[in-house]
Structure 1
Amino acid sequence: MPSRLLMIEDDARLASMVGEYLEQAGFAFAHQGDGASGLAAVQESAPDLVILDLMLPGMDGLEVCRRIRSLPGAAASVPVLMLTAKGDAMDRIIGLELGADDYLPKPFEPRELLARIRAVLRRQSPGAAPTQPVLRFGSLEIDRDARTVTVAGKPAELTSYQFDLLVTLAERAGRVLSREQIMEAVRGRELEAFDRSIDVHMGRIRAAIETDVKHPKRILTVRGVGYVFARQQD
């Protein structure tokens, strides 16, 4: 059964071209032209992925993303790939803070959009199960099969992308990784050396798993290098 994609985009011509391209690639494609209709479609059908434009009439993409993450049930966890204006770093960071899993600046190449979609869906549906599906670090448990994280038995809310970032670090506990190494491991490709979106995600992960965000003990920043997941138990 093909993965179901929903594009929320007010440019009907762009949506038509993107839809034709993605359908040729084997996806089921639907389109909504404004934020309110798109949000309703997410709630009704819970697509496998949402392609969300930032600039929408009425309700903008940031508000749509925020409301998606507040929906009940499975709809709240649908992956969101946000389309942003080229070079608009602030909107991109805000989108990531609200729970977007990835972003793509406009204008974009259809092939890059397709690659991003496949990468996000691949993270949602991992292939072979690891030999040790549950990683345990004191009160922190990361279940790679169920894709859940708990701290002292309580669930920690993370987006799909943030879960994969956490797993990437936890699997390499004690090893310092640069931002580029982390993002390459998750996305399968190198990003710009000065892309700071990784810091936004790390802040969200810390807020979910650390007892004291201002004095983290699990995910440590190595100034000028990147991040390391500490081995110590708690």
Structure 2
Amino acid sequence: MTETRILIAEDEVVLRFLLSETLEDAGYSITEAADGHEAILRLQDTCFDLIIVDYMMPEATGIEVCERLRAGGGPNAAKPVILLTAKVQEQDRIRAEVAGITKYISKPFSPIQLLDEVDALIQLHQGNGQ
């Protein structure tokens, strides 16, 4: 089995560390980005199996990262994207859906909840040959 690569784009250092540790302990290979611009750069030069983005990041929001990803083509354009957010208004969910977000997870959440979602999306998308 090949290594499953995940990009985590989160500006909060402690949360990014917690997410990375949780997913690495589960056997995933993690690349981190501290803001939206760094996430966009990483997505241009590395192929990932799944992308996790925070909604509110400096340089570019998670929504903007996903919009650029979906519009830009390339190897990550169809990959699943999980949006982590404290924004729970219906218009935020709609904007996320329009941008191409695969899964919307509201903060606070447990690392185990996120791991379950990651596992499910990875299995689904690898099963579809993406």
TM-score, normalised relative to structure 2: 0.92
What residue number does 1:77 align with? Answer: 78
- C-alpha distance in 2 between matches for 1:16 and 1:49: 17
Root-mean-square deviation (CA), in Å? Answer: 1.5
Q: Point out 4+ residue stretches in structure 1 off by more than 3 angstroms.
A: none
The aligned amino acid for 1:82 is L
What residue number does 2:21 align with? Answer: 20
DSSP 3-state at the match of 1:7: strand
The aligned amino acid for 2:36 is G
Segment drifting more, 60-69 vs 84-93: 84-93
Percent of pairs with identical residues: 35
Superposed displacement of residue 87, structure 1 = 2.6
Contact 1:84 1:92 in 2 (8 A): no
- C-alpha distance in 1 between matches for 2:3 and 2:51: 15
TM-score, normalised relative to structure 1: 0.52
The aligned amino acid for 2:100 is G
The aligned amino acid for 1:69 is R
Matched, 1:124 2:109: no
What residue number does 2:108 align with? Answer: 107
What residue number does 1:7 align with? Answer: 8
Unaligned runs of 5+ in 1: 127-144, 148-234
- C-alpha distance in 2 between matches for 1:104 and 1:146: 25
The aligned amino acid for 1:93 is I
Q: Within 5 Å, give how 1:37-48 maps onto structure 2.
A: 37-48=38-49
Matched, 1:54 2:75: no
What residue number does 1:150 align with? Answer: none
Select the structure that is richer in helix: 2
Superposed displacement of residue 124, structure 1 = 0.6
Contact 1:86 1:107 in 2 (8 A): no
Q: Any idea what the Cα deviations from partners look like across 1:37-84, whole Å, max 9, x if unmatched?
A: 101101110211000100011211111110010123222112101112
Q: Within 5 Å, give how 1:161-172 maps onto structure 2.
A: none
Q: Within 5 Å, give how 1:1-234 maps onto structure 2.
A: 1-85=2-86, 87-126=88-127
Alignment length, in residue pairs? 129
DSSP 3-state at the match of 1:52: strand
Q: Any idea what the Cα deviations from partners look like across 1:136-186, whole Å, max 9, x if unmatched?
A: xxxxxxxxx667xxxxxxxxxxxxxxxxxxxxxxxxxxxxxxxxxxxxxxx
